Amino acid sequence: RFRRFELDQGTGVSVSFEFFPPKTDKMEASLWSAVQRLEPLGPSFVSVTYGAGGSTRERTHRTVERMLTETRLAPAAHLTCVGSSRAEVDEIVRAYHDIGVRHIVALRGDPLEGLGAIYRPHPDGYDYASDLVAGIRRISDDFEVSVSAYPERHPESPDWSAEIDNLKRKVDAGATRAITQYFFDNDLFETFMEKVRAAGINIPIVPGILPIVNFETTMVFSAKCGTSIPHWLARRFAGLDQDAETRKLVASAVACEQVLDLVDRGVTDFHFYTMNRADLTFAICHMLGLRPAPLEQQAA
């Protein structure tokens, strides 16, 4: 049964958008133009990432606060354990609570030396994401807490049982939703979901969708974070190095095909890694049946 043909405004598809905190004035301007373009689509939340080792602590906070005060969006702040003591992390959580943020994306983070290096917890810090979730819950019970999930396994997990046990620990600690690492092979996601549900994990698992802005960069990053690049995907981008316009059309087609296939498989929630750009994400949401709502109809 192909559910994609039933998609229309109000069919129950729900989306969220991820942004990263800008470094320069120019990047700041492009972030806010993307936010303005995507806001009328009525995302259930928008999230702002936290730089490796807390390097964007202030910028993440500023971006989240601006979303809270200048838009009608519900911002979620990413937070990691790496490089900080529990007291420091707790202080950040309380500061978010004080300004009215009610959603944290709780992560362990990558080692300070970069992806692939050996992870060593901070001596006074939260060791893993599950510990951070428990810490957040000790501070307040009225946070939504999202965590990560890996349809192709986290690179450091020795096997599937370690992977699923870890997700279960995060749920038992109080996580209310998981957002997946991006993937391109929907069969892998479906197999993963079977494992998750068989383990009795019942929170929403929202697929993370990466519209490919730059295929070369995506290949390099995917090799590090454990996302496989199917042959068919590489073939689709082959020969387009000098043709940015076609690359963008192909990127849009690839991501639309992926989300519509997920819709056919019964998925209703999607999280988009926007890379602070609106164009591809907006087009894919349009294909999902979403239309910009007039300002007065947008959620207060």
Residues in contact with ligand FAD by CB under 6 A are 49-50, 52, 78, 80, 105, 107-110, 128-130, 148, 154, 156-157, 162-163, 166, 179, 181, 208
Exposed, middle or buried by CB within 10 Å (0-12, 13-18, 19+), for 181? buried
CA dihedral sign of residues 184, 242, 213, 39: negative
The single residue of 18, 39, 65, 163 carrying the catalytic annotation is 18
Cβ 179 to ligand FAD shortest distance, Å:
4
Residue 89 amino acid letter = V
* Closer CB to ligand FAD, 105 or 233, in the complex: 105
Burial annotation 247-265 (CB, 10 A radius, 16+ → b, else e):
bbebbbebbbebbbbbbee
Residue 191 amino acid letter = T
* Closer CB to ligand FAD, 42 or 53, in the complex: 53
Cβ 244 to ligand FAD shortest distance, Å:
27
Cβ 107 to ligand FAD shortest distance, Å:
3
**113 labelled catalytic:** no
Alpha-carbon span 209 to 200, nearest angstrom: 25
H or E stretch covering 47? strand 45-48
**Closest to 219 (Cα-Cα) out of 237, 245, 206:** 237
Cβ 296 to ligand FAD shortest distance, Å:
32
* Closer CB to ligand FAD, 99 or 162, in the complex: 162
* Closer CB to ligand FAD, 175 or 285, in the complex: 175
Residue 241 amino acid letter = D
Active-site amino acid positions: 18
